[in-house]
A and B are shown apart, each in its own frame.
Chain A
Amino acid sequence: MPRTGTHAVKLKQTGPWIEHSGPDADVVVSSRARLARNLSGLPFVNQASDAEKREVLQLVQTLPLAGDRSEELLWIDLQQSTPEDRRLLFERHLVSRQFLESDSPRAVAIADDEQLSVMVNEEDHLRMQVLLPGLNLEEAWRRVVDFDRRLEKNADIAAHPRWGYLTACPTNVGTAIRFSVMLHLPGLRLTNELERLRRASNDLDLAVRGFYGEGSDSSGDFYQVSNQLTLGVSETDLLATFVGEIVPRIVTYERMARDILIERSSTLLEDRVYRALGTLRSARLLAIEESMKHLSRVRLGITLGLLTDIPLGTVQRLFLEVQPAHLRRVQPDSIDDTALEPVTEDRLLDDERTRRRRADMVRSALSE
């Protein structure tokens, strides 16, 4: 695995693809395919000593995994990175929360375009994902399998004749694949139809989670829908169900909800959208939750054609840039000369200075 940097995180300001919107972007924000793999002959991460974990890191780092497009992989050792950089990786959806908070030997390898990334020593030795804008699960699947084939050519991967790919948690065995789509569902939320979606999803063995929400509620009306079954269904069958049935059904459902809102309560809807934009364009202090909520409504206004002067890409970028670690990058502190405190403590994530900086940034990005 070639590497271009070991210590500092050399990521670009925002994800290179964040402003692009893919197919069905009015509802589907992004698509992801993720595979879990473990090397045979070594204990799973939870049972491995630090020496064994380092062995896994070295082993993976020496594998020739560059593909035809000769993708350069940036290797980031998380033990040697700053808390602020780790938080940045998390906000960029390149590492999980669990990965962010652990303190054992672990690394993430990231392709140039940031669409492919591999967490090494998360719950499984390798968790590789491809994350694309819009509804594009087929391409995400193709690219992650491409990578997996190169991995299998070079490493002995743990598998079982009956249970397929073996994972640390036995509920992930089989294909060990997780397809997920991040959906923007303000229509279903405003028409109180989310509960029905949850019940329907449950019947289809899908998991629905609030996405940006740190707690139970989903701030910004983003929901992640993913498969729960990994055994007894092939990857391609699962993919076909996702792109052929599940996602189109939810997209249609959300669009219907939006149509109903326009038809029956257009004034109320317009009021919410313009009020949200007004707040974002004039607030002097913006908390994270508040900015997510208003950005969500502005996003809805754009996709409904109510707001025509703001590109969808700008709002997509803002969803990322209002996050604490990104905010610090985009807007280095010019007013206070005090050195930036590390973004480790939760109270530091949303103090007054951060809220002011966020409001300034959003105001200038959305100025008329």
Chain B
Amino acid sequence: MNTKCDHCEKPAEVHEIDAIKGVHVHLCREHAVEAGFQVPQSAPVTDLLTHFATLQAPSQSPKRVEKPTACGNCGATFARFRKTGLLGCPDCYEAFSKQLDGVIARSQNGASNHTGRVPDRSSALIDLQALRRSLIEELDRAVASEQYERAASLRDRLHTLASESAE
């Protein structure tokens, strides 16, 4: 295929076809990434095409072509959001930021910027949370393998951590 990108002179690597509206979109790697596509490092073009075709099939009358992206952190897709109305994790907000812009503005009377309180955060806090999480995971393992003494000392450490951070 020698089709050029819709936005520049480079050869298109991503081809999206909306079967219902008959719209063809051709994008080079860079412009595809910019448009929110997840472009695998060396996927053959045909693979991408079939992937898009299956993703496109069930949608009723798409005004805009659905971006078949998934959140890199939790794996949730935008199609899943369409169905459930719920996102999978905080990172989904970055992964689908383009689509969410409209969704949020529509539900919020056009507003797109937060005004008000923001979390009081520090890196020490993030470390503390990570530490607490790993202690809890260790505690679970200790209990599961019936290492009760170890579990007791882990529980103590969690308590100490709690009282320290309370001060």
Binding site for B on A (CB under 8 A): 38-44, 46-47, 55, 58-59, 62-64, 66, 123, 145, 148-149, 152-160, 162-166, 168-171, 173-175, 205, 228-237
Contacts and interface: CB of A to CB of B under 8 A. Distances in A.
Given A152-B120, A230-B108, 7 more contacts: A43-B73, A62-B136, A154-B166, A155-B125, A159-B118, A162-B113, A205-B109
A171 B85 CA distance: 9
Which A-B residue pairs are the 7 nearest by beta carbons? A232-B111, A164-B114, A47-B88, A64-B166, A234-B116, A158-B90, A171-B107
Interface in B130-147: 130, 132-133, 136-137
A154 B116 contact: no
B165 A173 contact: no
A148 B116 CA distance: 14
Nearest to A46: B86
A163 B93 contact: yes
Contact of B104 (A38, A156, A170, A236): A170
Contact of B116 (A123, A162, A235): A235
Contact of A154 (B93, B113, B159, B165): B165
Interface string B23-64: 000000000000000000000000000000000000000000
Nearest to B89: A43
A166 B118 CA distance: 11
B111 A229 contact: yes
B163 interface: yes
A231 B103 CA distance: 12
16 contacts: A43-B74, A62-B158, A64-B166, A66-B166, A152-B121, A153-B165, A169-B87, A174-B116, A231-B111, A232-B109, A232-B111, A232-B114, A232-B115, A233-B116, A235-B116, A236-B116
Contact of B119 (A165, A205, A234): A165
B100 A170 contact: yes
Contacts of B118: 159, 164
B112 to A, nearest CB: 7
Nearest to A173: B104
Given A47-B89, A58-B136, A41 B116 contact: no
Contact of A55 (B133, B162, B166): B133
Contact of B117 (A62, A160, A175, A232): A175
Interface in B66-104: 73-74, 76, 84-90, 93, 100, 103-104
Contacts, number: 145
Contact of A168 (B86, B100, B121): B86
B3 interface: no
A40 B117 contact: no
Contact of A47 (B74, B100, B120, B136): B74
Nearest to B137: A55
Contacts of A42: 89
B126 interface: yes
B129 interface: yes
Nearest to B128: A154
Contacts of B161: 62
A153 B116 contact: no
A31 to B, nearest CB: 19
Contacts of A64: 162-163, 165-166
A173 B114 contact: yes
Contacts of A43: 73-74, 88-89
Contacts of B103: 170-171
Given A169-B85, A235-B117, A174 B129 contact: no
A152 to B, nearest CB: 5
Given A62-B136, A156-B129, A232-B108, A169 B86 contact: yes
B114 to A, nearest CB: 3
B129 A39 contact: yes
| Residue among B76, B89, B136, B162 having the largest count of chain A Cβ atoms under 10 Å | B89
B100 A153 contact: no
Quick one: which of B74, B109, B119 has the most chain A CB within 10 A? B119
Contacts of B165: 64, 153-154
Nearest to A162: B113
A43 B92 CA distance: 10
